[in-house]
Structures are given as structure tokens and as C-alpha cells.
Chain A
């Protein structure tokens, strides 16, 4: 009996421990003073106003978006193509194993090691302080996410539909465009989503390569932490959290809708083609 209560308490404590930081940030962001107050003495949206209209914050958000999107496009292409090569390439088992290890290799390296090497590499090429120097490194970082997703779905889907399409007379490129890619697109986009998230919150590599403290959003947040923990950081991070929550909810709703659709189809209530 006592064990159960203490187990329960431990669990409650753990959940609180996990959730508390996120909640704290959200609460602080609504404070009405110019310094951090936890709990805040008054309610105000001033920090959201400040952050969303401050050109410095907006510029930081814009820059990281540009760089991350470009990196993710590159990673998405390379990762998907690599997944094709592994799943459909007819390569020997050893070659496949080597590439698979190589594909998730970026995940295994501590970012600071890449950051230092990348910094030195670019400076030897004469490039310092350029936001675009981040792109190849971020792309390399994002490849594993896309690769794993794409490989998973390619293996699951198999070549049956490709064969069906070929036997109906479709060319290889048609099959690729109209059959295979649409099938794997959701998974690829999932991988791209994770890659994008990773790039948009990456700090260490950006810190080494850019040096100045406010170029990208995560760097600006990190720099602000040293300047002084004003609630504007809380507002920015709450917005990020809100975005993540919104997307998660959207995803859940969408999958629920698809689930419903599948049920309705299997019950014959709606046509498959609708």
C-alpha cells in the first residue's frame, strides 16, 4: 500500500519534472514586467508584440529559415536518393551495410567536432561569417533523418506496385513520378520535418561558424541568455513550443481523419476514389 503511494508520488514528481520547464517558459512569457518574474505579477502580451515586431528577431528567424530550408531540400534529395540506392539498387549486402552506416554516421558525431572542423575548413577557403556556409553542414546533419524515413517506407512498400505499373505499360520515369514518389512522399516529408527541426534549433555549429551572436534564431536566444534573461526569450520559445503543439495536433487530427476515411471505405460507405 505504502509502496503504491510512493510509486504514485514518484510518478507524479517525474511528470512534473518533465513538464515543469515547458510550463514555466510559457507562464513567464506572459509577464508584464521588464524582468523575469516567476510567477509573474501581471498578465501582458507585450513580449509577443515586441518579439513579433522587432526587426532583429524577425531577421534572425528569417535567416535560419532560409538556411534550414535550403539544407533540408538538399538533405531530402540526397537522403531519398540514397534510400533508393539501398532499397532498389541491387547492391551487394556489404555495400548496402557500408552505406547504411555512412547514412546514419552524422548522427553519431558530437556537433562540436563538426563545428570546429567546419570552422577551420571554411576559413582555409577564405569564407568566414557567411550564413550560407552553414548549408552543407546542416544538409549533412539532416540526411540521416530523411534516409531512415525513406528507407523504411521503400522497404515496406516494395516493388509490387512498380511491377504492376510496368506491366500496365508505364515507363520507368512515369512509374517513378506517379506511383513510387507519391507513395513515399509522406514518409520523406516526415524525415524532412525532423531534419528541419534539427537545423532550426542547432546552435554549436552556428556558434563556431558565425561567431557573432545574433545571426540565427537559436543563436540569438543563446546570446540573449547571457545578456540577461528578459522575458522576450520566453515569448520566442513559447511561440516555438506553440508551433510544435499546433503541428502535433494537426498531425493527430489528420491521421484521425485518415483513420476515419479508411473505416468508412472498408465499410463501403464511401467510394475508394473519393
Chain B
């Protein structure tokens, strides 16, 4: 029976497929378009107009982004306006946890791919630098970096926003609100399912745990993996949902899968727009920059630098923050935000006092520890 049925399966599928293909032939042309477009464009010299801004008409650049709402916000606030201003076409490539691997493959094989990567943490920067995947930034071309908050200007990365890992909670019936991050680790007084990220930010999560346990700063670095996991073990037996991506995190909050969350503030804001039960506190939170870096061997370094410069401007950052609700790294951008948003940002004066930042002196030390901490973290999470 199946053999005779199968014959028609074949013919029916092939003919239907041909019909659909011809209908989609216009969209099929996008195959090379968004993801994976080569970074090289025509090699025209940039012409400068009177006010000193450059024109890259006819050229294109590829920027990597982490997908979902974050990419939408970046595109609307940074990439499209940049296109309008300079004439350069900005292609966006989406990737999440395999970003480093893809980057390494491209750089190692010398094939042009991405020109700029975004959403890099200091740990990712460390690994990327070690593997030779990113170049140092020529800050002569990015003067706007000097106006950014402390720590945003790294030799190999430009911090274009500030994210905070905050203690978020649902205000629905029966859920006790968290007053600080320490409460997140207290399962006795705050029972209920909770969620936390598991996408490679183990060093940050150790810092969060250390802070919650009131570890003095001098003891926090280098990160003591054992005591970090010891703090997290307070959650043994608790119902934890581990998120692979920011979008998954936001979705989980929207569907009320958890009562509490050690979340990124922008993602909580994103979820709260749909599910107004969610609130968060900056007490005990850790703030960190998202860095944009230039890929090794890019042929469009000039466009890349111009894009980075554009990303430091208050207007662009304000547009970005309004869309994704992460904090701008340029203090001047705060004033441009709508009133309602100003108090919710990690860099707003009130919150800034509560948000902890890894001291500059500790950045390199922690970068060297990234692999060790991440491996220990993975071992712990997978054997819970």
C-alpha cells in the first residue's frame, strides 16, 4: 500500500514544489541577501561632503547581530539611519551561541563574511582577541567614544549600550516581590519557579552570586569558581529554567513560565510591554557593556569605524534605548529619552548607584579565566 501511495507522493510533491518555487522565485533571490552576504563591496574611495561626514555610496558592510527584538532595535536605530546618512548598505547577519565559531571559521579561512560583530561581552572579547578574530579600533576615527561612560572604550571593543542583570519578579497573585538579588537566591522565603540565562555569561553570574552573598570586592577577583558555585548551590532543588537566548527569556516571562528571573533589564522591559505583571529592581544588579568590534581582516574598516562612530551619537543611542530598553552608554542620550523611560535605565542617576560594574583592573584577570569558569559552570548546570 505504501509503495503505490508513495509514488504519487513523489509526483505530487515535485509538482507542488515546482509551483511554489516559481511563486517564490522573487523571494528566493534573497538567499544570499540577509545572512552571510560577503562584506566586500566596490572599492570606491569615500567622498566627503561639506560637513565632514563621509559617503560610502555603492559599498556595503555586514554586521552580525543576536536576533529578535535586539536586531530589530539595532536596525531601526543604527543601521538604517547610517545607510541613509552615508549611502553604505548594511547587511545584517543573525547568529547567537555559535557566533564565535562562525567568526573563527570566517577569519581562519580568509573568506569575507562579517565586518562588525555586536553584543560582545568582555569575556567574548577576550576569547576573540586570543584567537585573533578582532582588530583593535582606531579611535582617531571614533572620536565620539570619549563621551561615553567609563569602561565603554576598550582597545578592541566599543561599548554601545549598558545592560543590567537584574532581579525580576512577577506581581501576579501569590508571588512575593523580590527586594534585591539576594532574595533571588533565597528559596525558603521566595519559593517558586525561576529562570536564569545559560548562554555563556558564567563570569557575570558568578559576580552576581558573589554580590548577593555580600562578598567584599577585594575577594571577588580573580573569580573563585568554587565559592561561586557554592553560592549557586543555594538554589539546589529549585525549579530553574535555563534560557538559551534573550528572546527565549522574554518569551518565558510573557507566558508566566516562571515567577522570578535573573534577567537582562531590556528583556524584562520587552516582556513587560506584553505582560504588565513583570517588574524588577536594580538592587544587587550587575551592569555591563555590550561591545561592538571590528572583525580581523575586514576590507571595510573605514565603513566599520564610521558605523561605530555613529553608534556613539546621543540621537542614535536614544533611538536604540527607546526601542530595546537597554541603557545608552552615552550619558547625553539619557536626556533625549522620553520621560517615562528615563528612570528605568541602568545608567539613570538613581539606578547607577545600585548597579555594580566590574572594575577596569579586573577585566583582564577575568578574561583569562573565562574558559575555566564557563566549564565549571557547565559541569554544574548539567549535573543538577
Contacts of B7 in A (CB 8 A): 186-187, 189-190, 193, 251, 254-255
Contacts of A124 in B (CB 8 A): 109
- Contact (Cβ within 8 A) A226 B5: no
- Contact (Cβ within 8 A) B105 A194: no
Q: Does B68 contact A (CB under 8 A)?
A: yes
Contacts of B25 in A (CB 8 A): 62
Contacts of A226 in B (CB 8 A): 244-245, 247-248
A176-190 CB contact bits vs B (8 Å, 1 = yes)?
000000000011011
Minimum CB distance partner of B30 in chain A:
A59
Identify B24's interface contact among A61, A68, A126, CB under 8 A: A61
Q: A59-B30, A192-B10 are in contact. Are A128 and B105 (CB under 8 A)?
A: yes
- Contact (Cβ within 8 A) A211 B98: yes
Q: A35-B255, A66-B21 are in contact. Are A228 and B14 (CB under 8 A)?
A: no
Q: A59-B27, A189-B14 are in contact. Are A128 and B111 (CB under 8 A)?
A: yes
Main secondary structure of the interface of B (DSSP, over half): helix
Identify A126's interface contact among B16, B67, B110, B255, CB under 8 A: B110
Contacts of A59 in B (CB 8 A): 24, 27-28, 30-31
- Contact (Cβ within 8 A) B67 A189: no
Beta-carbon contacts under 8 Å, A211-259 to B: 211-215, 223, 226-229, 243, 246-248, 250-255, 258
Q: Does B175 contact A (CB under 8 A)?
A: no
- Contact (Cβ within 8 A) A247 B12: yes
Identify B27's interface contact among A62, A186, A189, A190, CB under 8 A: A62
Q: Does A112 contact B (CB under 8 A)?
A: no
Q: A194-B6, A226-B245 are in contact. Are A243 and B35 (CB under 8 A)?
A: no
Tell me the minimal C-beta distance from B51 to chain A in angstroms: 36
Q: Does B101 contact A (CB under 8 A)?
A: yes
Tell me the minimal C-beta distance from A189 to chain B in angstroms: 4
Which size class do A's interface residues fall under? 35 or more
Contacts of B27 in A (CB 8 A): 55, 58-59, 62
Complex alpha-carbon distance, A8 and B32, angstroms? 55
Contacts of B266 in A (CB 8 A): none
Tell me the minimal C-beta distance from B261 to chain A in angstroms: 15
Contacts of B245 in A (CB 8 A): 226-227
- Contact (Cβ within 8 A) A193 B9: yes
- Contact (Cβ within 8 A) B244 A212: no
Q: A58-B24, A128-B105, A251-B12 are in contact. Are A213 and B94 (CB under 8 A)?
A: yes
Apart from A62-B31, A251-B5, 11 more pairs, CB < 8 Å: A35-B255, A59-B27, A65-B28, A126-B109, A128-B105, A129-B113, A193-B6, A197-B9, A212-B94, A213-B96, A255-B7
List 27 A–B pairs whose Cβ atoms lie within 8 Å, in order of A's numbering. A35-B254, A59-B27, A61-B24, A62-B25, A63-B31, A66-B28, A66-B31, A123-B106, A126-B110, A128-B105, A128-B106, A128-B111, A129-B35, A189-B14, A190-B6, A190-B9, A192-B14, A193-B7, A193-B12, A194-B9, A196-B17, A210-B35, A226-B244, A227-B68, A227-B245, A248-B5, A255-B8
